[in-house]
Amino acid sequence: MSQIHDVTQYLSSFVNALYASGVTEAVICPGSRSTPLALALQRQGKITPYVLMDERSAAFFALGMAKVSGKPVVLLSTSGTAAANFMPAVVEAYWAHVPLIILTADRPPELRDSGASQTIDQVRLYGSHVKWFQDMPITNGDEALNRFAAITAERAVYYASIQPHGPVHLNFPFREPLLIEDTMRSSTMMPTPRVIPSIASPHPVLIRNVVHSLRSYRQGLILVGAGLMRPALTQILRLSEKLQWPIFADPLSNIRGLDPHIIGTYDAFLRNRTDLPIIDCIIRFGAPMTSKALNLYTENSYAIIVDGENSYREPQLQPGQVIEGDLNEVLVAINQQLELESFSSDSRWYTFWMQKHHEMLARIENTMPTLREPAEPFLYYHLNQWLTPVAPVDVFVSNSMPVRDLDTFTQNPDKSIQFWANRGANGIDGIISTTMGIAAMKSQAVLITGDLAFYHDMNGLFAAKKYNLDVLIIVINNDGGGIFSFLPQSRLDHEEFETLFGTPHGLTFEHAALLYGAHYRLAKTHDQLQRAFSDLVSLKGLRILEWQTRGRPENVVMHYEFWQG
């Protein structure tokens, strides 16, 4: 019983310190070895527990919560392959800068590599994909270890939360008995935060040099990628006005539609760019851009990158510089310096791009009514209008085709709509679960996904049933991997292509909906899609709208016809 008392004190200190440091949600996967931690999290009383059975799905659920809240979420598994199932979400969290605190229960050290059941090597299990790892001691009751547990909790929250945000991993070995006392230790009231961070400010001399160097460029663009960009909008507009360089904003920047000076049509008009001028400089804020057409167009430009999350993201190996620091502060510093410079801007450059933008906006408007059915762009074009009745709303888009079609066809969305995607590793796994995590933190969520990503993560639907989440899923079912039809692989022999890339599965998803008691509607035409969307969007609970578009090759033809005008 003394051991149970010791473990209770130790874990009380740990979970109380998590809460004191700002953790308010924990996703718990059932297991035996993890019992002491599961009970401690549950009994802490102020941390909201979610219990989900598939660890892969649970991890993406936690990722969704942390993604939209910006706050670290705790994720717990028992020992063995349970912990290994977290791997895909951990990798995504690492590259997408999402703060997660991963707790894995483990067998005690004396059972490792001995043939004991559910005993694997959990030390540094996630390798280079976590920011920090600790193999926790088994407490012997020393008060110093209770303090260690509290300090480690605070450090874990701190490391997960400093830029770039990311996952940390604490491995907790436990010996039997795997129980704790009913009464937890009360909070130890250690002052938080444990670590008092220094403040990093933009480097005044080096930023001045960067701004000086801008004078060499005449044909520049301001690119705004994924990230929390809205707080920096004012400064971005000010920069654009000063330089007379246009703003190209990614759909995941969530600033499209907030100001008429923001251009979102570039992915469409850059597909056919024989007559376009050379870009000699770009200034990019946030993550790399989604649009491959834009990235190809600017790949030889000088690049000034303000990452905003203190990571290094510049895959094009362009000449240029990466500026660290808070996005808004760097912008302020640049803008202030620009006021002091004699920068001769050319409004014709700016006007040229705005005209391109307006032409393309008009062409999208004109083209939409004429699209041969079923055309996937139809959905993205109407999204803003169709979602208005339920705004404010968060929309998660899957990788592969949805995020690309969103980029091309969703222009001027309302401020009350926010778009999200998993762009750390751009996988098509965990898509439904991530959406469920978003819905758990916000009042509702909408997901747009293809059929492969839907199939990959069908287990994620369970969370909606269990926690009565309000989620509308639009699954665009073209019976396979639509994006491959856009790639050089599509020129392979038809049978070989379909076997390895198209991978038709013949699945429809009504039974997936019924398995979890979801509202389900099937649409095949634009009219059916519109009506089903309208019917489902205002309902509560889990709703699945399956839009059977089929015709992957026809989808490609339609896109090319559009791009080529």
CA 168 to the chain's CA centroid: 17
User: Which tokens go with 210?
Assistant: 């960067």
Least spacing, CB of residue 487 vs a copy of itself, in Å: 6
Are the CB atoms for 542 and 520 separated by under 8 Å?
no
Using the contact rule CB under 8 A, the part of the chain among 130-138, 258-266, 409-417, 451-459 near a copy of itself is: 451-459
Least spacing, CB of residue 127 vs a copy of itself, in Å: 5
> Could you give the CA distance from residue 138 to residue 145 in angstroms, rounded to a whole number?
9
Are the CB atoms for 507 and 544 separated by under 8 Å?
no
Q: Which of 191, 197, 369, 506 binds a copy of itself (CB under 8 A)?
A: 506
The DSSP H or E segment spanning 218 is none
User: Which tokens go with 198?
Assistant: 């220094």
Of the two residues 158 and 520, which places its CB atom closer to a copy of itself in the complex?
520
> Could you give the CA distance from residue 199 to residue 237 in angstroms, rounded to a whole number?
26
CB-facing half-sphere around the CA of 111: CA atoms within 13 A = 16
> Could you give the CA distance from residue 201 to residue 560 in angstroms, rounded to a whole number?
46
Helix (H, G, I), strand (E, B) or coil at 202: coil
Residues 122-181 that bind a copy of itself (CB under 8 A): 124-125, 127-129, 177-179
> Could you give the CA distance from residue 316 to residue 300 in angstroms, rounded to a whole number?
9
User: Which tokens go with 390?
Assistant: 């339920």
Residue 523 pairs in a beta bridge with: 547
Q: For 503, list phi and psi in degrees, rounded to 5.
A: 40, 60
Residues 315-334 that bind a copy of itself (CB under 8 A): 315, 317
Of the two residues 335 and 400, which places its CB atom closer to a copy of itself in the complex?
400
560 binds a copy of itself (CB under 8 A): no
Contact letters (x/-) for a copy of itself, 174-213, by CB under 8 A? ---xxx----------------------------------
Residues 83-102 that bind a copy of itself (CB under 8 A): 84-85, 87-88, 90-92, 94-95
248 binds a copy of itself (CB under 8 A): no
* DSSP character at residue 326: -
Helix (H, G, I), strand (E, B) or coil at 248: strand
Residue from 281, 223, 287 nearest 256 by CA: 223
Least spacing, CB of residue 231 vs a copy of itself, in Å: 21
Contact letters (x/-) for a copy of itself, 15-54, by CB under 8 A? -------------x-x-x--x--xx--x------x-x-xx
426 binds a copy of itself (CB under 8 A): yes
Of the two residues 173 and 257, which places its CB atom closer to a copy of itself in the complex?
173
Q: Which of 272, 300, 499, 538 binds a copy of itself (CB under 8 A)?
A: 499
Q: Which of 320, 481, 482, 551 binds a copy of itself (CB under 8 A)?
A: 481
459 binds a copy of itself (CB under 8 A): yes
Q: Which of 251, 308, 377, 427 binds a copy of itself (CB under 8 A)?
A: 427
Least spacing, CB of residue 99 vs a copy of itself, in Å: 18
Angle in degrees, 0-180, between the axes of helices 55-69 and 87-96, rounded to the nearest 10: 20
556 binds a copy of itself (CB under 8 A): no
Residues 293-312 that bind a copy of itself (CB under 8 A): 311-312
Are the CB atoms for 239 and 253 separated by under 8 Å?
no
231 binds a copy of itself (CB under 8 A): no
> Could you give the CA distance from residue 254 to residue 423 in angstroms, rounded to a whole number?
14
Q: Which of 116, 195, 362, 557 binds a copy of itself (CB under 8 A)?
A: 116
User: Which tokens go with 32?
Assistant: 């035996």
82 binds a copy of itself (CB under 8 A): yes
Amino acid residing at 559? H
Q: Which of 212, 505, 531, 550 binds a copy of itself (CB under 8 A)?
A: 505
Least spacing, CB of residue 458 vs a copy of itself, in Å: 7
User: Which tokens go with 457?
Assistant: 């993560």
Least spacing, CB of residue 287 vs a copy of itself, in Å: 7
- Cβ neighbours of residue 332 closer than 8 Å, sequence gap 6 or more: 235
Q: Which of 500, 527, 531, 557 binds a copy of itself (CB under 8 A)?
A: 500
